[in-house]
């Protein structure tokens, strides 16, 4: 008799309400165990559809619940074969027996129309999986609910490798919205410190941490500094002002309340220094262009030569004879406001700080040192590449930082737009060579700020970033202010999964050139082990790679090779876990790690088996880099292939 069914039966016989209450407490659903609970155990789940914006989310939630039952009863859950999640992904209704819903009504579910749907789940046991001696399992397997659901549904190879970052703004800052983004695959929540108040940011960070702690998500938090840039302070209108061809405007740093007609207020006192009559001022990389016709003290009188819209906080760039006059580097990379935002981020325990307008490696090194002295946890510093100056010093900046964001928005102000695709490819390549995670940011799905579907060109742009093996893709206004943030996230999710599958099917892996990173012998050994591990996993067609790592180094070295199977990184360090969230193909798990590596490996495999996430016959490549401690003197670097018994 399968153990789980027996346990459930026993539980129901003793107290039929216990199970119902247990399930009820798992959140959101009204659930009712059916009176007949012979094997296989059947219970029905009824959910209010308005809580969910897509069938995949609904089923994800169910699987999260069922996953908890598996943990509770130490058994394996089998999903009814009739429930095919993939059918829901592209909007095809799932309407086979067992699951009913009306796609038309589903679409209106966001307007909170209550539609009830019912699904029957079958709960059973896979004979070879349940450990008889569940007491022998030590510790808890820190799997996040979303990866667990994805793994159950899609299997090892179906796990998405490209990570997703969402900018949080007014459109998605409620706990419900944040949870929907987490369920939709958000790995990192980004907060742009340019916008909104300290209290607002604190509230969002705390909500994300609450979701992680109480509901088992694993969403990292990134703050993004405002940085120093020459931009328009205010032009006196809530949205935008039109500049007509030939109109004369006054550019000043004089401070005044309200608006003045034909006046642009710049934020930086020295904005006009070194600027000559005849130079051009460009708004937001091309929204409107002005020619300087007169210098009046520190101010400039300018004529509009290319009419367009002047948006709030528009970025200003200066051009002479078709060449950029670089002025932003005159400003400090971190302003006093940025430092105070960084202090705030450290005190709130954020995982990443993205540094705007980095122009050299020293600024990054300085911030990294500062953060490491101020915070007991490891906070990763990402350098944003968004200026010509940064492109000139790309390698040293990448080397100095913990990761890179290709900030295409501001970069497009300083370099011609047609250069963005090749520059992006170059930056992703350098980052991979130097083993630093790279985020491709800005305007990936810009049209979805307004519309519920992306343009074909946007999908092609997303696919290109995935093809280039970027570690992560980022949403900006699409999630921060747009009404279709969850849909935009779903587009990133589906497009990256599809592109990754295509890459594997077509065997498109571009092999990493053998650039050796490590300078010491142990580092070089670790690197070679990881390169071999990735090659072996591909060549032997293994199901997964397990890596045991305290600081994440081995996990990232394997990820750098972009192997076919997913990488499960077992770590006992929660900062490492949160940092690995940005790394291509890595699913980080928090576990207890002892000095006994054999015990770590068998313990974690037992735990994962007990959850039903791995089965007999699955093949796993196990890599470890546990470094010596006071009790063990030897470095434990190993690689082995295990077939699950
Ligand atoms: N915390 C926030 N509060 C209010 N609006 C925000 C917030 N974060 C982002 N936004 C809005 O979303 C847009 C896109 O955000 P972001 O990616 O930070 O880009 P940027 O500031 O460069 O425009 C911003 O222009 C702003 O209108
Ligand atoms: C991500 C970017 O930075 P920000 O949103 O701070 O302008 C960008 O410029 O592309």
- The per-residue pLDDT for 636 is 62
Ligand nearest to the backbone CA of 199: 1
What is the whole-number distance in angstroms between the Cα of residue 409 and the centre of ligand 2?
Answer: 5
- From 165, 190, 192, 225, give the residue whose CB has the most ligand 1 atoms within 8 Å, as the site to mutate: 192
Burial class (CB in 10 A: 0-12, 13-18, 19+), 228: buried
Using CA atoms, how far apart are residues 520 and 277, in angstroms rounded to an integer? 56
Average pLDDT (320-329) is 81
Is the minimum distance from the CB of 442 to ligand 2 under 6 angstroms?
A: yes
Considering the chain, what is the average pLDDT of its residues?
79
- The per-residue pLDDT for 69 is 38
Cβ 585 vs Cβ 626: under 8 Å = no
pLDDT tens-digit readout, 59-84: 444 444 443 333 222 222 233 333 33
User: What's the angle, vertex CA 410, arms to CA 490 and CA 256, rounded to 5?
Assistant: 115
CATH of 163-228+331-505, one of 3.20.20.60, 1.10.760.10, 3.90.950.10, 3.30.70.580: 3.20.20.60
- The per-residue pLDDT for 268 is 85
Burial class (CB in 10 A: 0-12, 13-18, 19+), 285: middle
Return the DSSP state at 512. P
What is the whole-number distance in angstroms between the Cα of residue 476 and the centre of ligand 1?
Answer: 7
What is the whole-number distance in angstroms between the Cα of residue 441 and the centre of ligand 2?
Answer: 7
Cβ 554 vs Cβ 547: under 8 Å = yes
Using CA atoms, how far apart are residues 445 and 461, in angstroms rounded to an integer? 9
Give residue 17's Cα distance to chain centre. 40
Ligand nearest to the backbone CA of 439: 2
ipTM: 0.98
Using CA atoms, how far apart are residues 570 and 592, in angstroms rounded to an integer? 9
Minimal-distance CA residue to ligand 2 atom 1:
407
386 Cα nearest atom in ligand 2:
9
Cβ 604 vs Cβ 546: under 8 Å = yes
315 Cα nearest atom in ligand 2:
7
Place 609 in a pLDDT band, splitting at 50, 70 and 90. Answer: confident
443 Cα nearest atom in ligand 2:
10
Minimal-distance CA residue to ligand 2 atom 2:
407
One-character DSSP codes across 590-607: E----S-HHHHHHHHHHH
Give start and end residues of each alpha helix (H) in 216-253.
Answer: none
- The per-residue pLDDT for 606 is 86
410 Cα nearest atom in ligand 1:
22
- The per-residue pLDDT for 628 is 56
Using CA atoms, how far apart are residues 393 and 272, in angstroms rounded to an integer? 26
Where b means 16+ CB within 10 Å and e means fewer, 74-90 reads: bbbbbbbeebbbebbbe
pLDDT tens-digit readout, 160-212: 999 999 999 999 999 999 999 999 999 999 999 989 999 999 999 999 999 99
Inform me whether the pLDDT recorded for 126 exceeds 60: no
Give residue 569's Cα distance to chain centre. 17
What is the whole-number distance in angstroms between the Cα of residue 479 and the centre of ligand 1?
Answer: 9
Is the minimum distance from the CB of 190 to ligand 2 under 6 angstroms?
A: no
Give residue 439's Cα distance to chain centre. 9
Number of helices and strands in the chain (H, E)? 21, 26
Minimal-distance CA residue to ligand 1 atom 19:
476
Rg over alpha carbons for the chain, rounded to the nearest Å, is 27
Burial class (CB in 10 A: 0-12, 13-18, 19+), 384: buried
Structure tokens at 31: 């659930």
Is the minimum distance from the CB of 479 to ligand 1 under 6 angstroms?
A: no
Is the minimum distance from the CB of 408 to ligand 2 under 6 angstroms?
A: yes
384 closest CA partner among 460, 442, 314, 444:
442
- Most confident listed range (24-33, 379-388, 587-596): 379-388
- From 169, 207, 311, give the residue whose CB has the most ligand 1 atoms within 8 Å, as the site to mutate: 169
Using CA atoms, how far apart are residues 413 and 284, in angstroms rounded to an integer? 6
List 383's β-bridge partners, or say none.
355, 404
Return the DSSP state at 510. P
CA atoms within 13 A on the CB side of 39: 12
Burial class (CB in 10 A: 0-12, 13-18, 19+), 434: middle
Burial class (CB in 10 A: 0-12, 13-18, 19+), 477: buried
Inform me whether the pLDDT recorded for 443 exceeds 70: yes
What is the whole-number distance in angstroms between the Cα of residue 224 and the centre of ligand 2?
Answer: 9
Is the minimum distance from the CB of 424 to ligand 2 under 6 angstroms?
A: no
Is the minimum distance from the CB of 412 to ligand 2 under 6 angstroms?
A: no
224 Cα nearest atom in ligand 2:
6
Inform me whether the pLDDT recorded for 218 exceeds 50: yes
Is the minimum distance from the CB of 196 to ligand 1 under 6 angstroms?
A: yes
Alpha carbon dihedral 519, 525, 527, 529, in 10-degree steps, equals: 180
Give start and end residues of each alpha helix (H) in 15-163.
Answer: 16-24, 55-73, 86-89, 103-107, 145-158
What percent of the chain lies above the pLDDT cut of 90? Answer: 50
What is the whole-number distance in angstroms between the Cα of residue 442 and the centre of ligand 1?
Answer: 11
Where b means 16+ CB within 10 Å and e means fewer, 535-547 reads: ebbbeeebbbbbb
Cβ 572 vs Cβ 592: under 8 Å = yes
CATH of 232-328, one of 2.40.50.100, 3.40.50.300, 2.40.33.10, 3.30.420.10: 2.40.33.10
pLDDT tens-digit readout, 263-308: 999 888 888 888 999 999 999 888 999 999 999 998 999 999 999 9
Distances (CA, A) of 426 to 378, 430, 518, 573, 592: 28, 6, 22, 33, 39
Inform me whether the pLDDT recorded for 4 exceeds 60: no
Higher-confidence residue of 442 and 122: namely 442
- From 173, 227, 476, 482, give the residue whose CB has the most ligand 1 atoms within 8 Å, as the site to mutate: 476
Sorted by where each begins, the domain ranges of the chain are 3-130, 163-228+331-505, 232-328, 521-643
CA atoms within 13 A on the CB side of 622: 20
Give start and end residues of each alpha helix (H) in 438-520.
Answer: 456-467, 477-480, 485-505
Ligand nearest to the backbone CA of 358: 2
Is the minimum distance from the CB of 485 to ligand 1 under 6 angstroms?
A: no
Inform me whether the pLDDT recorded for 139 exceeds 70: no
Is the minimum distance from the CB of 224 to ligand 2 under 6 angstroms?
A: yes
At 543 the three-state DSSP class reads: coil
Place 554 in a pLDDT band, splitting at 50, 70 and 90. Answer: very high
Segment among 81-85, 254-258, 456-460, 625-629 with least mean pLDDT: 81-85
Minimal-distance CA residue to ligand 1 atom 14:
477
442 Cα nearest atom in ligand 1:
17
Is the minimum distance from the CB of 409 to ligand 2 under 6 angstroms?
A: yes
pLDDT tens-digit readout, 394-403: 999 999 999 9
Minimal-distance CA residue to ligand 1 atom 17:
476
542 closest CA partner among 156, 281, 255:
156
Using CA atoms, how far apart are residues 158 and 358, in angstroms rounded to an integer? 37
Ligand nearest to the backbone CA of 354: 2
Is the minimum distance from the CB of 490 to ligand 2 under 6 angstroms?
A: no
The dihedral sign for the CA sequence 532, 534, 537, 539? negative
Structure tokens at 454: 């992306």
Using CA atoms, how far apart are residues 437 and 425, in angstroms rounded to an integer? 14
- From 309, 480, 485, give the residue whose CB has the most ligand 1 atoms within 8 Å, as the site to mutate: 480
Is the minimum distance from the CB of 299 to ligand 2 under 6 angstroms?
A: no
DSSP strand pairing (316-320 vs 263-266): unpaired
Average pLDDT (223-230) is 90
Ligand nearest to the backbone CA of 313: 1
Place 333 in a pLDDT band, splitting at 50, 70 and 90. Answer: confident
Q: Which CATH architecture has domain 521-643?
A: 3-Layer(aba) Sandwich (3.40)
The dihedral sign for the CA sequence 194, 199, 204, 210? positive
225 closest CA partner among 338, 58, 146:
338
H/E element holding 626?
strand 619-626
List 474's β-bridge partners, or say none.
165
């Amino acid at each position: 008799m399968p153990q789980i069914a027996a346990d459930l039966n026993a539980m129901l016989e003793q107290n039929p309400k216990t199970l119902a209450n247990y399930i009820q407490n798992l959140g959101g659903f009204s659930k009712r165990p059916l009176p007949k609970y012979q094997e296989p155990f059947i219970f029905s789940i009824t959910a209010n559809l308005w809580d969910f914006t897509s069938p995949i989310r609904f089923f994800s939630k169910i699987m999260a619940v069922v996953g908890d039952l598996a943990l509770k009863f130490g058994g394996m859950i089998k999903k009814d074969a009739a429930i095919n999640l993939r059918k829901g992904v592209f909007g095809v209704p799932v309407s086979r027996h067992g699951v009913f819903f009306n796609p038309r009504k589903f679409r209106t579910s966001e307007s909170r129309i209550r539609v009830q749907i019912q699904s029957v789940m079958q709960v059973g046991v896979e004979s070879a999986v349940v450990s008889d001696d569940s007491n022998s399992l030590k510790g808890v397997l820190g799997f996040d609910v979303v990866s667990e659901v994805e793994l159950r549904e899609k299997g090892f190879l179906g796990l998405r490798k490209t990570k997703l970052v969402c900018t949080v703004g007014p459109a998605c800052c409620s706990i419900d919205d944040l949870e929907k983004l987490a369920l939709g695959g958000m790995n990192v929540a980004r907060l742009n410190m340019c916008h909104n108040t300290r209290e607002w940011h604190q509230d969002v960070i705390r909500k994300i941490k609450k979701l992680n702690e109480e509901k088992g998500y694993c969403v990292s938090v990134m703050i993004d500094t405002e940085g120093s840039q020459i931009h328009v302070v205010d032009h006196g209108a809530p949205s935008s002002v039109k500049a007509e061809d030939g109109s004369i405007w006054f550019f000043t740093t004089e401070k005044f309340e309200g608006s003045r007609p034909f006046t642009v207020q710049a934020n930086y006192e020295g904005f006009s220094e070194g600027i000559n009559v005849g130079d051009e001022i460009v708004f937001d990389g091309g929204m409107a262009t002005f020619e300087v016709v007169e210098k009046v003290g520190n101010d400039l009188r300018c004529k509009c030569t290319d009419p367009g819209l002047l948006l709030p906080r528009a970025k200003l760039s200066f051009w002479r004879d078709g060449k950029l006059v670089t002025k932003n580097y005159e400003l400090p990379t971190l302003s006093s406001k940025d430092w105070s935002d960084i202090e705030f981020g450290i005190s709130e325990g954020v995982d990443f700080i993205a540094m705007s307008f980095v122009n050299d490696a020293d600024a990054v090194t300085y911030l990294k040192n500062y953060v490491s002295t101020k915070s007991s946890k490891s906070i990763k510093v990402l350098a944003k590449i968004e200026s010509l100056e940064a492109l000139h010093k790309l390698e040293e900046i990448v080397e100095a930082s913990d990761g890179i964001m290709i900030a295409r928005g501001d970069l497009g102000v300083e370099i011609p737009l047609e250069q963005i695709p090749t520059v992006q490819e170059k930056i992703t390549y350098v980052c991979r060579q130097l083993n630093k995670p790279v985020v491709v940011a800005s305007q990936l799905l810009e049209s979805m700020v307004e519309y519920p579907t992306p343009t074909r060109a946007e999908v092609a742009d997303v696919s290109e970033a995935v093809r280039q093996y970027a570690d992560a893709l980022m949403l900006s206004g699409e999630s921060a202010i747009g009404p279709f943030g969850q849909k935009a996230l779903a587009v990133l999710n589906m497009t990256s999964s599809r592109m990754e599958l295509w890459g594997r099917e077509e065997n498109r892996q571009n092999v990493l050139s053998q650039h050796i990173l490590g300078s010491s012998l142990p580092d070089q050994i670790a690197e070679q082990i990881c390169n071999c591990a990735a090659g072996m996993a591909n060549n032997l067609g293994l199901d997964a790679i397990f890596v045991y790592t305290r600081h994440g180094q081995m996990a990232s070295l394997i990820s750098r090779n972009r192997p076919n199977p997913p990488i499960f990184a077992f770590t006992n360090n929660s900062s490492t876990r949160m940092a690995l969230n940005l790394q291509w193909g890595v699913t980080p798990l928090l576990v207890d790690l002892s000095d006994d590596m054999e015990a770590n490996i068998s313990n974690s495999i037992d735990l994962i088996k007990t959850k039903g996430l791995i089965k007999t016959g699955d093949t796993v490549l196990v890599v470890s880099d546990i470094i010596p401690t006071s009790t063990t003197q030897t470095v434990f670097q190993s690689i082995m292939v295990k077939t699950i018994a």
